[in-house]
């Protein structure tokens, strides 16, 4: 450190020559290890070489003893996976691997945090249905089934389809309006059916993720009107008119033996012949907003309890400390209005207060 004109490595070599103490022995051992590692880096696979460094230096166990050690060790293992992927390329060497890591960091800002949770951990995962492909869970909750499908791409001014071509509107300049064309209607229906097919595939993926239990949640504005609509047979024509996943699930549950709560709301007469025998078991619950919300009386009780708790702590030392911190004002507030750069013309025109600049 004292040899400012030399590099750190040159200063270390000079220390070996000029001194003879315990630190010299440590430096000598380090140089021997460094020389050996330089040779091993030339012929060892990159992942094996990095793992060898982590083991011999004890760094892997060192980070494991730090706070968040499990996550830190998982990140080091992720680095080994990167090294294993790099080893499969045609580019070799430690120098090229370091450049490879630098490019990853420059492109994405970070190499990411390794996952340390297994699929059977005792926790709740929130993810999209797309992300859940290939995974299974003991219990799955499908929420938001009443959300409308997105058909915005079929409402553009000009529609395009890879097979049917272009579907423009007919513009009437005399009447200053436009009308639908056969081509546009055909493409619009085709795009809508393709979007519905994709939504149906997504729903299928979501319904096949659970191992033991599936919970499906959806909301509608008027449950009675919805059940009357669901009472129609789930034909392809009726399913194509669906606006959300509930419009597909509802007609099926209406004809299931466990769908009695829905049938009662539909005001449609049902017979045993209308029901379909299915071995699956369902528990249908219909909840109103008032059933899951907080009543006015309960809200009033909560507010009263909160006010009483505030009164109890009003005269405590904590309240004085809180008031002191909340009432604190920045002592140099006036200095915040001083610009970093001021021209003479700005001062002359009175755009800046000379007193703030310390000008008499």
Residue 141, judged by CB atoms within 10 A of its CB (0-12, 13-18, 19+), counts as middle
- 289, 312, 334 — which closes off a domain? 289
Residues 176 and 278 placed together within one structural domain of the fold:
yes
Going by pLDDT thresholds of 50, 70 and 90, the confidence category of residue 350 is low
Q: Both 188 and 304 in a single domain?
A: no
Q: Which domain-ending residue is among 269, 289, 309?
A: 289
Does the pLDDT at position 351 exceed 60?
Answer: no
Residues 284 and 331 in one domain: no
Ranges of beta strands (E only) in 228-286 are none
Domain annotation covers residue 120: no
Tell me: do 157 and 237 sit in the same domain.
yes
Helix (H) or strand (E) holding 83: helix 69-87
Instruction: Give how many domains the chain has, as a whole number.
Output: 3
In a domain, 310, yes or no: yes
Residue 358 lies in a domain: no
**First-to-final CA distance of the chain:** 50
Examine the fold and report which residue of 238, 260, 289 is the final residue of a domain before the chain moves on: 289
**Residue 14: pLDDT band by 50, 70, 90 thresholds?**
confident
Return the percent helix, strand and coil in the chain, to nearest 5: 50, 5, 40
State pLDDT tens for residues 207-233.
999 999 999 999 998 888 888 888 888
pLDDT by residue (tens digit) across 96-132?
888 888 887 777 666 666 666 655 667 888 888 888 8
Neighbours of 83 (CB within 10 A): 20
Is residue 128 assigned to a domain? no
Q: What is the pLDDT of residues 132-147, one digit of tens each?
A: 888 888 999 999 999 9
- Answer whether residue 355 is part of any domain: no
Whether residue 266 is found in the same domain as residue 149:
yes
Predicted confidence at residue 354, as pLDDT, reads 57
Based on the fold, state whether residues 187 and 205 are members of the same structural domain: yes
| Confidence at 189, pLDDT banded by 50, 70, 90 | very high
* % of the chain residues with pLDDT over 90: 20
246 plus 341 within the same structural domain: no
Task: Check whether residue 278 and residue 307 sit in a common domain.
Answer: no
Beta-carbon contacts of residue 15 (< 8 Å; ≥ 6 apart): 23, 24, 27
Q: Are residues 317 and 254 in the same domain?
A: no
The answer to whether the CB of 230 falls within 8 A of the CB of 247 is yes
The H or E element containing residue 170 is strand 170-172
Residues 6+ apart with CB under 8 A from 111: 78, 79, 82, 101, 104, 105
* Domain membership of residue 43 as a residue range: 8-108
Q: Establish if 115 belongs to a structural domain.
A: no
Residue 325 pLDDT class (50, 70, 90 cuts): confident
Residue 129 lies in a domain: no
pLDDT tier, 244 (very low <50, low <70, confident <90, very high otherwise): very high
Query: Do 263 and 306 share a domain, yes or no?
Result: no
* pLDDT of amino acid 197: 93
Is the domain of 273 the same as that of 335? no
Residue 97 shares a structural domain with residue 36 = yes
- Within a domain: residue 1? no
């Amino acid at each position: 450190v004292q040899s400012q004109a030399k590099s750190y490595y040159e200063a270390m070599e000079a220390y070996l020559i000029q001194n003879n103490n315990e630190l010299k022995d440590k430096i000598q051992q380090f140089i021997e290890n460094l020389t050996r590692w330089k040779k091993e880096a030339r012929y060892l696979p990159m992942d094996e070489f990095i793992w060898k460094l982590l083991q011999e230096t004890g760094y892997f166990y060192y980070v494991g003893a730090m706070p968040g050690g499990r996550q830190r060790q998982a990140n080091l293992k992720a680095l080994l996976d990167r090294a294993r992927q790099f080893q499969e390329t045609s580019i070799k060497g430690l120098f090229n691997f370091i450049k490879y890591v630098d490019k990853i960091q420059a492109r994405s800002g970070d190499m990411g945090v390794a996952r340390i949770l297994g699929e059977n951990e005792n926790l709740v995962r929130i993810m999209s249905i797309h992300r859940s492909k290939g995974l299974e869970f003991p219990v799955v909750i499908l929420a938001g089934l009443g959300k409308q499908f997105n058909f915005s791409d079929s409402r553009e001014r000009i529609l395009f389809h890879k097979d049917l071509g272009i579907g423009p509107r007919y513009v009437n300049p005399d009447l200053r309006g436009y009308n639908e064309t056969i081509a546009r209607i055909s493409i619009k229906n085709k795009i809508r059916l393709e979007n519905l097919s994709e939504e149906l595939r997504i729903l299928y993926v979501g319904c096949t993720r659970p191992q033991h239990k599936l919970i499906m949640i959806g909301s509608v504005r008027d449950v009675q009107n919805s059940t009357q609509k669901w009472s129609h047979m789930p034909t392809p024509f009726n399913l194509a008119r669906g606006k959300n996943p509930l419009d597909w699930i509802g007609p099926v549950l209406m004809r299931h033996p466990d769908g009695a709560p829905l049938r009662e709301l539909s005001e449609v007469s049902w017979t045993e012949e209308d029901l379909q025998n299915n071995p699956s078991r369902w528990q249908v619950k219909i909840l109103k907003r008032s059933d899951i919300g907080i009543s006015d009386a309960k809200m009033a009780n909560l507010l009263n309890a909160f006010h009483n708790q505030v009164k109890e702590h009003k005269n405590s030392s904590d309240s004085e400390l809180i008031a002191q911190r909340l009432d604190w004002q920045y002592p140099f507030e006036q200095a915040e209005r001083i610009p970093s750069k001021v021209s003479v013309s700005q001062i002359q025109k009175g755009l800046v207060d000379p007193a703030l600049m310390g000008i008499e």
